[in-house]
Amino acid sequence: MSDSSSVTPVAGDLAFTRDDLRGTIPEAAYAGALSFMRRRFTRDLTNADVAILGVPYDLALSGRSGTRFGPRGVRTASANIAWSGPWPWETDPYEQLAIVDYGDCEFDPGKPADIPGTIAATARKILATETALLSIGGDHFITYPLLQAHAEKHGPLHVIQFDAHTDTWADEPDRIDHGTMLWHGVREGLVVPERSVQVGIRTHNPDPLGFNVISSREVHQQGPAEIARRIREIVGDGPCYLTFDIDALDPSAAPGTGTPVIGGLTTYQAQEMLYGLAGIDLRGMDLVEVSPPYDVSEITALAAATLISDMLAVYAARPGA
């Protein structure tokens, strides 16, 4: 009979009981408080390098609703991979960086006109503490107020966008739409389009507003390593913002999204391209458009959680890190 007194107890609910903001401690995937990757829930950013912010917003969707449940779904799925750092990265961002889960952006859905300003103000508050921000959507509109806050701090940004759609359709200045946020971004000088790139595109748009566009066909034909090289050449050494719309992935890999388009990226291609971006000057990140009501066996949320870990690894590998 084994001596139970010799078994070291594993601390549960690491989202609340974790002492060190760095490091990975295994916890049962089926139990405990579901922060992102078991990071500590806190709004004290004194010692934090990166804050994870949920933005449960889907009032700007043009198709199927449900991305308001995205942050919760991604956090839940992340419990399945929280026992280890991302593979095949040589460095572990959860060991190298002090990462916290800041919780969700709070806004009143009954006052939709106020929501963009609330998202931007929340991002500004976090960035003012010299903490980097990774946001989980929510629909893709949230990138617009997030870009406002990041551009105020870092200047006009070189955007790397993984997406099935360019999101540069013309709009009215005061409209809220998840397909026009980069039209707003270019119009306001938040983005440097000629030094920005959109990857995985497979829908028509008559005016890309000067963005460099790499279609999904080019990814399939040229391979992820070559595409990563092209991305790095386009963005150069300028300050980058990375936004990943989960519909960049093919619906076979990510059915849980509002506007799925066939012919998309595989998870392997997406991960390999992110792996090839190590060393860019990454300043901010988001992953959007996960819609759990349309997911199957949480595969979309799992892909999102894993890609976020890869994005954090890209951030950990930035110059001077």
- Look up residue 31 and give its two tokens: 């139990």
Binding-site annotation, residues: 140, 163, 165, 167, 245, 247
Supply the pLDDT for residue 320: 83
CA gap 64, 314 in Å, rounded = 31
For helices 267-275 and 224-235, what crossing angle results, to 10°?
40
Q: Give binding residues for Mn(2+) as ranges.
A: 140, 163, 165, 167, 245, 247
Give the mean model confidence (pLDDT) for residues 16-33.
Answer: 83
The tens digit of pLDDT for each residue in 220-272 reads 999 999 999 999 999 999 999 999 999 999 999 999 999 999 999 999 999 99
**What pLDDT score was predicted for residue 321?**
80
Q: Are 184 and 144 in contact (CB under 8 A)?
A: yes
> pLDDT tens across 134-159, in order?
999 999 999 999 999 999 999 999 99
- Cβ burial of 77 (10 Å; 0-12, 13-18, 19+) is buried
**Do residues 162 and 248 lie in contact, with contact meaning Cβ atoms separated by under 8 Å?**
yes
Query: Tens digits of per-residue pLDDT, 259-281?
Result: 999 999 999 999 999 999 999 99
- Whether the pLDDT of residue 10 is over 60: the answer is no
Side by side, which strands form the sheet with 158-162? 40-41, 99-104, 50-55, 132-137, 282-288, 240-245, 158-162, 197-201, 212-215
Nearest alpha-carbon partner for 211 in 225, 193, 224, 229 = 193
User: Across the strands, what pairs with 157?
Assistant: 191
Confidence band of 133 (pLDDT split at 50, 70, 90):
very high
Confidence at 30, pLDDT banded by 50, 70, 90: confident
Q: Which one-letter DSSP state was computed for residue 141?
A: G
CATH class of 36-316: alpha beta
The pLDDT tens digits of the residues spanning 99-114 come to 999 999 999 988 989 9
Buried b (16+ CB within 10 A) or exposed e, 95-113: ebbbbbbbebbebeeeeee
| The pLDDT of residue 103 | 96
pLDDT band at residue 172 under the 50/70/90 scheme: confident
d(CA 290, CA 255): 9
Tell how far CA 175 is from the center of its chain: 23
pTM for the full model? Answer: 0.93
Domain ranges of the chain: 36-316
Q: Cβ neighbours of residue 283 under 8 Å, at least 6 residues apart?
A: 132, 150, 153, 154, 157, 239, 240, 241
E strands, the chain, in order: 40-41, 50-55, 99-104, 132-137, 158-162, 197-201, 212-215, 240-245, 282-288
Name the residue among 175, 193, 167 with its Cα closest to residue 248: 167
Give the model confidence (pLDDT) of 47-81 as tens digits.
Answer: 999 999 999 999 877 888 899 999 999 999 999 99
Task: Note the helical H segments in the chain.
Answer: 14-17, 70-78, 93-96, 115-127, 143-154, 181-187, 216-222, 224-235, 267-275, 299-316
